[in-house]
Amino acid sequence: MASLRERVAHHLHLYHELDAPEIPDADFDRLVHELRDLEDAHPDVAAALDADGSGVSPAQQVGGAASGAFSPVRHDVPMMSLDNAFDVDELRGWGDRLVRRLGEDRAIDRWNIELKFDGLALSIRYEDGQLVQAATRGDGTTGEDVTHTVRTIADIPHSLPAGAPPVVEVRGEAYMRRSTFDALNDAQVAAGLKPYVNPRNAAAGSIRQKDPAVAATRNLSFWPYQLGRVDNGPALERHSDTFRFLTELGFTVNDHHRVVDGLDDVVAFIHEYEGRRHDLDYEFDGVVVKVDELDVQRELGSTSRAPRWAIAYKLPPEERATRLIDIPISIGTNGSATPYALLEPVFVGGVTVTNATLHNEDQVRAKDVRPGDMVIVRRAGDVIPEVVGPVLSERAKDSVPWAFPADCPVCATPLIRPEGEARHRCPNFHCPAQIRGRIEHFAQRGAMDIEFFGERTIDLLVTEGVIADVGDVFCFDPEALRSFEGFGDTSIENLAGALEVSRTRPLGKVIFGLAIPHVGSSNAELLAKAFGSLDALAGASAEQIAGIDGLGSVIADSVVEWFAVESNAAILAKLSEGGVRPEAPQVSTLEQTLVGKSIVVSGGLANYGRAEAKAAIVDRGGKAPGSVSKSTFALVVGNDPGASKVTKAEELGLPILDEAGFDALLSTGELP
């Protein structure tokens, strides 16, 4: 217990006093819970440790002690912490406990719900209408005087309207908007400084600046949510009245709050905001549920740490610490050698993550993550999981920096890193990993869409030497599988049937399946439409290809180069021998309103399926890629669009259209 106390105290200090936490909040919360459970189970040991001179257990403390950098401020009304609920059962358990405490015949039928902002708690004191002092929470009893920096926050009035009570303390959260944070970090990096880890730390670090001029450049914001001491204030009956009062005082209250009459509605609110987590320009890591009636709040009271009348429902963490087991290398279809993190499974961003890309040698070196390290893993929204960095205080003493392996882990060919490039490559075109990758790409749903021909079957056939390139896919006899475990009449018949169906896939899909560098599915469609057959495409000149609207010389050269390679010509011959007869593209009779325009569709539309929306664009001469870039003409959003696409489009200042706008765009080619 003593060493767990030390770890909690260490992280408590880093978080509250240095604004530089080493581990994610979720892991810190867990550590505190572990210690509390242990102390609850062994109160005698805890008491002995308390008496031992180490003082109150860190599990019982509200926040950090004052650092000494700023003058201490004693809070007239303590600034408490909140208890947490991590799932709906815990939330309902809390609700039941409150009702039991009030007496079985009582009910709570007004619950106030609001967001739990991820920032730094402040108490701002006004006397005779003037801002006189602003303090951090500190340990709940004594905080630090940060009046000088808080005065630079535009959301915080320096004076209150006439008639304001003689003493008012407004409590709330100072925070940094995501957009401000991104700009700050861009500037940090440009100046050769370390970027901030997250907006919370950036906000806390800015408030605790000595120089208010520095804080002023940080463009901080503030959401009020509670009152501290109020002398001769209005008689408020409900927490929701507090919000009205705060507005009258000249504060802007956050819009996302609601009063509901039961916990079912609270749960619905939580689910709604789980889905909106990335739609807002500021971070929130939970939902705070408060009993709305202030006299019921008073009746319920508080423990030494937290009020009984409120709870913080924590959303699934987007950052967690876990063990980095190893850094293996994966070999891609084109031979690219990518290091990735093999992780002890960790629940983060709502899913269990077991691996995350590490991109390339330079990234691993910059992050200095090493097998055996505890590392922080981040998965926010629909973004792919990322390793943020190591937890240095937990690194083994004998750990050494990771080095990129010299040889391909699949075929043992020495890896190369061409000069000026970030990526290593396996130069062996016949590396089984590359062969498998090319065949998997060819067979995938967006290409030849061969059912019953997944990774396992492909792996087996390549390893056993039955197929060696995509040309063999339609030539080998599925009977060859019979001698392997798990393959019988049904699976062989299924595969034979699937291959037959795939022989007549549309030409654009076949071209895409060939994995010609720079030819994604949209470009493949354009090539199919322009040339009508594989033979015609094989005979096309770079000028002819570059002349197609939407394609350029890079793509043209790449296509011509691909068809000039002898082994590729052999593949085409085998495909033809194997009975592949691509369906020629239908020439669209629609007006070509979207030539040269690239339109991304995200989310569900009422009158178009996913494929239909794509076809509607392509049939009018446009491109319909899967991701937003600066060359995107417009983003069309339906129900539940991908948050990262919307954010990217907003960042790039692209037009964002709804379904009606999409219809107009299709028919006129112009923005509505």
Segment interacting with ligand IVH, rule: CB under 6 A, options 112-120, 205-213, 569-577, 616-624? 112-120
User: CA-CA distances (angstroms) from residue 96 to 55, 80, 100, 104, 186?
Assistant: 34, 22, 6, 10, 48
Sequence-distant (6+) residues with CB within 8 A of 623 are 522, 523, 525, 526, 550, 597, 598, 599, 617
**Stretch binding ligand IVH (CB under 6 A), from 103-111, 190-198, 307-315, 427-435:** 307-315
The reply to whether 61 sits near ligand IVH by the rule CB under 6 A is no
In eight-state DSSP terms, residue 233 is: -
Q: How far is CA 401 from CA 125, 148, 355, 368, in A?
A: 51, 43, 20, 7
Query: Looking only at residues 130 through 159 of this chain, which bind ligand IVH when binding is defined by CB under 6 A?
Result: 137
CB 196 to ligand IVH: min, Å? 19
Tokens at residue 483, please?
Answer: 């001698």
CA 178/CA 583 separation, integer angstroms:
49
Considering the complex, what minimum distance in angstroms separates the CB of residue 120 from ligand IVH?
7
Piece of 15-23, 77-85, 291-299, 647-655 that binds ligand IVH (CB under 6 A)? 77-85
- State which amino acid sits at residue 488: G
Residue 559 engages ligand IVH in binding (rule: CB under 6 A):
no
In angstroms, give the least distance from the CB of 68 to ligand IVH: 22
- Residue whose beta carbon is closest to ligand IVH: 121
Number of residues that bind ligand IVH (CB under 6 A): 15
User: Tokens standing for 8?
Assistant: 């909690």
Q: Cβ closer to ligand IVH: 17 or 114? A: 114
116, 238, 378, 379: which one binds ligand IVH (CB under 6 A): 116
- Cα–Cα distances in angstroms (integers) from residue 500 to residues 449, 493, 515, in the given order: 11, 11, 21
Contact region with ligand IVH (CB under 6 A), list: 113-121, 162-170, 444-452, 657-665: 113-121
Smallest separation (angstroms) from ligand IVH to the CB of 143: 11
Backbone angles phi, psi at 639, to 5 degrees: -70, 135
Query: Site for ligand IVH (CB under 6 A): which residue of 197, 312, 519, 654?
Result: 312
Per-residue contact flags (x/-) with ligand IVH for residues 188 to 227, judged by CB under 6 A: -------------------------------------xx-
Q: Tell which one of 117, 269, 273, 282 touches ligand IVH (CB under 6 A).
A: 117
Interface with ligand IVH, residue 502, by CB under 6 A: no
Among 113, 121, 458, 510, binds ligand IVH (CB under 6 A): 121
The one among 17, 25, 114, 472 contacting ligand IVH by CB under 6 A:
114
Q: CB pairs under 8 A, 24+ apart, for 235-242?
A: 236/294, 237/293, 237/294, 237/295, 238/110, 238/112, 238/292, 238/293, 238/294, 239/112, 239/290, 239/291, 239/292, 239/293, 239/294, 239/297, 240/110, 240/112, 240/292, 241/294
Residues classed as catalytic: 116
Tell me how far apart the 2 most distant CA atoms of the chain are, in Å.
92
* Three-state SS at 50: helix
Give the CA count within 13 Å in the CB-facing half-sphere of 422.
11
Q: What is the smallest separation between the CB atom of 226 and ligand IVH, expressed in angstroms?
A: 5
Instruction: List C-alpha distances in Å: 298 to 114, 123, 239.
Output: 20, 20, 12
Q: Among the candidate windows 111-119, 201-209, 344-352, 458-466, which touches ligand IVH by CB under 6 A?
A: 111-119
- Could you say which of 66, 80, 135, 572 contacts ligand IVH (CB under 6 A)? 80
Nearer to ligand IVH, 64 or 372 (CB): 64
Nearer to ligand IVH, 288 or 435 (CB): 288
Residues 264-293 that bind ligand IVH (CB under 6 A): 288
Among residues 340, 412, 337, 350, the alpha carbon closest in space to that of 379 is found at 350
Q: Which residues touch 648 (CB under 8 Å, ≥6 apart)?
A: 628
Contact residues for ligand IVH, defined by CB under 6 A: 80-82, 114, 116-117, 121, 137, 173, 225-226, 288, 307, 310, 312
